[in-house]
């Protein structure tokens, strides 16, 4: 029984990546826009903490999935679109905020890290087929989350806090 489930999973995973690789540019652009919108919606799932100006949000899952689903370039483009549209004033950053001041505020480093994390995951999924396995993807997502989202986020938060003291 278990062998059948694993086999079905492997077949579906293979079919998904074949489908994704065969998409034309217009479909990739549409999916990138959809992932930007999903990231904006997930930004509104937030838990504020009393000791920090940075809330916990639901954004990281769509960010990480954008790299896996869309690949290196289109995943990064989806997050760049999310950032650019938010900078132009669309209130879809956490707490229904928008504008360039958000990017230069305490959460800006995290927002920039979204692009890097999506590019990183997409690169490994595109270039290294063995990284498409569940455990490998999970490992890469943890690295991308902590190394490419949290690290630049914490650096900018630290700079912002030192400038506001």
Q: What is the CATH number of the domain that holds 151?
A: 1.10.1760.20
Average pLDDT over residues 8-16: 86
Q: What confidence category does residue 131 fall into, taking pLDDT thresholds of 50, 70 and 90?
A: confident
The first and second tokens of residue 34, run together, are 């959809």
Work out the percent of the chain whose per-residue pLDDT is above 90.
72
93 falls within a domain: yes
Q: Tell me the CA distances in angstroms from 97 to 67, 78, 89, 139, 160, one per residue in order.
A: 24, 19, 8, 32, 18
pTM of the model: 0.89
Residue 1 has pLDDT above 60, yes or no: no
56 falls within a domain: yes
- Residue 61 within any structural domain of the chain: yes
pLDDT at residue 164 in the model: 83
Q: How far apart are CA 114 and CA 157, in angstroms?
A: 15
61-89 average pLDDT score? 94
Residue range 60-86: average pLDDT?
Answer: 94
Answer yes or no: is 125 within a domain: yes
Residue 95, domain extent: 25-164
Question: Does residue 48 lie in a domain region?
Answer: yes
On whether residue 9 sits in a domain, the answer given is: no
**Lowest-pLDDT choice from 59-68, 96-105, 132-141:** 132-141
CA torsion, ordered 83, 86, 91, 97, to nearest 10 deg: 70
CA distances to 64, 88, 157 from 54, rounded to whole Å, are: 19, 21, 8
Q: Is residue 19 included in any domain, yes or no?
A: no
Q: Is residue 7 part of a domain?
A: no
**More confident call, 27 vs 20:** 27
Count of the separate structural domains present in the chain: 1
């Amino acid at each position: 029984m278990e062998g059948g489930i694993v086999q079905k999973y492997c077949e579906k995973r293979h079919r998904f990546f074949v489908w994704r690789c065969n998409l034309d540019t217009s479909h990739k652009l549409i999916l990138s826009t959809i992932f930007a919108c999903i990231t904006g919606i997930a930004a509104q799932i937030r838990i504020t903490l009393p000791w920090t100006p940075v809330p916990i949000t639901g954004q990281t899952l769509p960010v990480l999935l954008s790299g896996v689903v869309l690949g290196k370039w289109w995943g990064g483009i989806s997050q760049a679109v999310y950032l650019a549209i938010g900078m132009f004033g669309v209130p879809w950053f956490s707490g229904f905020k928008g504008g360039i001041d958000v990017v230069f505020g305490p959460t800006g480093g995290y927002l920039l890290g979204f692009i890097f994390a999506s590019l990183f995951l997409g690169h490994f999924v595109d270039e290294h087929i063995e990284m498409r396995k569940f455990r490998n993807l999970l490992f890469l997502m943890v690295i991308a989350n902590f190394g490419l989202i949290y690290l630049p986020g914490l650096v900018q938060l630290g700079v912002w806090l030192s400038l506001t003291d």
